[in-house]
Structure 1
């Protein structure tokens, strides 16, 4: 760990994520965009091909067949997904996928890197006298700190991520989670995408500009802020002891304490926004959504049980079975 600390921090005049991960800022952004694209594609296929969604009346026969065909084709030809069109669907499926296509996403990156290199040399002088000794200790400090904060925003549209982004852009860019340096790995965009869609459809999600919390105004929005902090540090204290000869001052001991550390604090703020066209689609179907997608006969007990099942299934429309 000491050797790692020295190698990662000693030469960083302009600290960047590359120093630790070997990934440029561009490639970090590229991986997260590709993870988002894959999450959107996964939500699309899960919704359209799920047996539970079909059996529960959330996906009609035509829409499910389209989903199954594209899913099969996508496995062997990833470029084929760019030919998918929400307008080819029908019924409630067209509304749900239209919502997916109408969602915009912004990623704000705040990358903060601080490198500290401290050197504390010490020297001990000794003069040997006939019946005693005299020593003199000297100590100094040579401390250095360098920092860099890089902040920027990238924007995308779910529909464009699928229809316009070439699959080759994401080749070898779908990676696993990185527990040591999280911003360089998978950050969990699947839950962000799925939760936004479920809240927009079934949670009455509203815009953030409404001062009256009881009033639903503006297109649905949601923001997640992820913060990752990684600290690498190490200390080296080499010393040398000499055996003095004669009665003059001699160096009896010399030491150089070296402390290196690097602290990277990265914030990723993800905002999702439904454009006005998507909002109009939701407003048209919301009355039917809140009446329930499952119908049941019988008295209050039977109706209440059916409503409970319906509410549970609504939350699962983008989750694999």
Structure 2
């Protein structure tokens, strides 16, 4: 933007005569901005705006693009998880050795670990941790504001009486652009601890146009450094977040879900001003001064919300409710729900609460209620084997199976009737 503005000022300074017609003809006209003056003002306005992005993007000021920011954050979280697996290996009795914590999530490696270390609690412990789901929500909200104003002064000779007439003209332009990009994605601990994900984070077998995750474009993966100017492009602490979640989850009576909301704001301001003054030449219509004042600002607001959840409540939370009936057992111990559903639900709740705080307005129903339906639209609550997919409760699984079977039968009948109609029409 600076280059275009300054060059326009220089062109005005080099200008000689913006009205080639005789002075007498110019003086006879009604005083007012000429076509040349209007053109100059327009040039200033355009110069102020042409250098600014039509679609403001993170890529305009960030050293890495959006997709690389997301990849770096997920790989940073993975690094914290790998460290925690090393701790789990050391805590086993006897300690687990000979396995790479980066790829322990591969099913074959888990089975082999159980075979070589029989005391490992694979089903009751390791598998539950492997099924933990992580939900992310990313928001990139960028607002650009640009203001340009310009002034030009002309001196017109006046023949009778002898003297001069000064003419001033000005123009301004204001523009504001906003772009908001929001998207969600999910991981599980099992997916993160695989050979495929290790290769991705270490730039192995990636596309030729990929943006590298590591400084040397190869292993080992190193997280981005913390950046104070544009924080979202550096380390944002997700490795510490996953460690905190896992350390809290093993405490007696601890919660089995975890949400974290990170907000980063970066503001850029720029000002450009210029003026030219020329010595007036008697008896000629000449430009004597020109000014330009240009200001621009950009506000980048980035939000990252993460949620981590077990498939069901930890065992320490259900020890006091073991003698109640089957339904109450589910309620007390936490339904054995789809971990992705639980993570997405927790993320929805924290997002709704954040929106209420921002708008200073409470909804009629609390987020815990409204998020049930919205999360159900994307993920089943249960697994369909031990509990119902719709509500996640064991006692409703038989009824749901009957309903699903009836729906399937109706669909089969409709398909059969459609085929019969088509066959009948073709025979005609």
Asked if TM exceeds 0.5, the reply is yes
Are residues 1:240 and 2:279 paired?
no
Q: 1:122 aligns to what?
A: 151
Residue 10 of structure 1 contacts residue 260 of structure 1 at CA under 8 Å; is this kept in 2? no
- In structure 2, stretches of 5+ residues that fail to align are 4-46, 203-211, 214-222, 322-428
Partner deviation per Cα, 1:282-308 (whole Å, 9 max, x = no partner)? 547899xxxxxxxxxxxxxxxxxxxxx
Q: For 1:65 and 1:164, locate their aligned partners in 2 and report how far apart those are by CA, in whole Å.
A: 19
Determine the structure 2 residue equivalent to 1:110: 139
Mapped pair 1:38 → 2:79: yes
For the aligned residues, what is the CA RMSD? 3.4
Which of 35, 46, 58 is the matching residue for 1:17? 58
Structure whose CA Rg is larger = 2
Greater per-residue strand proportion = 1
Residue 139 of structure 1 is matched in structure 2 by: 170
Q: CA 1:113–1:182 in structure 2 vs 1: closer, same or farther (change >3 Å)?
A: same
Using the alignment, how far apart are the partners of 1:25 and 1:283 within structure 2?
40
Deviation at 1:34, TM superposition (A): 0.9
1:179: how far off? 2.1
Out of 224, 231, 240, the residue aligned to residue 175 of structure 1 is 224
The answer to whether the Cα contact below 8 Å between 2:252 and 2:316 also exists between their aligned partners in 1 is no
- Residues 232-289 of structure 1, C-alpha deviation per residue, up to 9 Å, x if partnerless? 221111211110011455322101222222221111111111112xx354547899xx
State the partner residue of 1:61.
Answer: 93
The size of the alignment, in residue pairs, is 252
Which ranges of structure 1 fall in alignment gaps of 5 or more residues? 50-58, 207-219, 288-321
Q: Answer with 14-23 or 188-197: which moved more.
A: 14-23
3-state SS, counterpart of residue 237 of structure 1 = strand
**Pick from 95, 101, 110: which aligns with 1:85?**
110
Question: Is the contact made by 1:40 and 1:190 (CA closer than 8 Å) also made in structure 2?
Answer: yes
The SS at the match of 1:140 is: strand
Task: Between the two structures, name the one with larger relative contact order (CA 8 Å, sep ≥ 6).
Answer: 1
Q: How does 1:136-285 map to 2 (within 5 A)?
A: 136-163=167-194, 165-171=196-202, 172-173=212-213, 174-202=223-251, 204-206=253-255, 220-276=256-312, 279-283=313-317
Q: Distance in 2 between matches of 1:102 and 1:79?
A: 15
Q: Is the 8 A contact 1:126 1:136 kept in 2?
A: yes
Task: Confirm or deny: 8 A CA contact 1:205 1:221 kept in the other structure.
Answer: no
Following the alignment from structure 1 to structure 2, what is the Cα–Cα distance between the partners of residues 286 and 38? 36
User: 1:97 Cα deviation (Å)?
Assistant: 4.6
Aligned to 1:167, what secondary structure does the other structure show?
helix
Residues 303-314 of structure 1 aligned to structure 2 (within 5 Å): none
Offset, 1:43 = 1.5
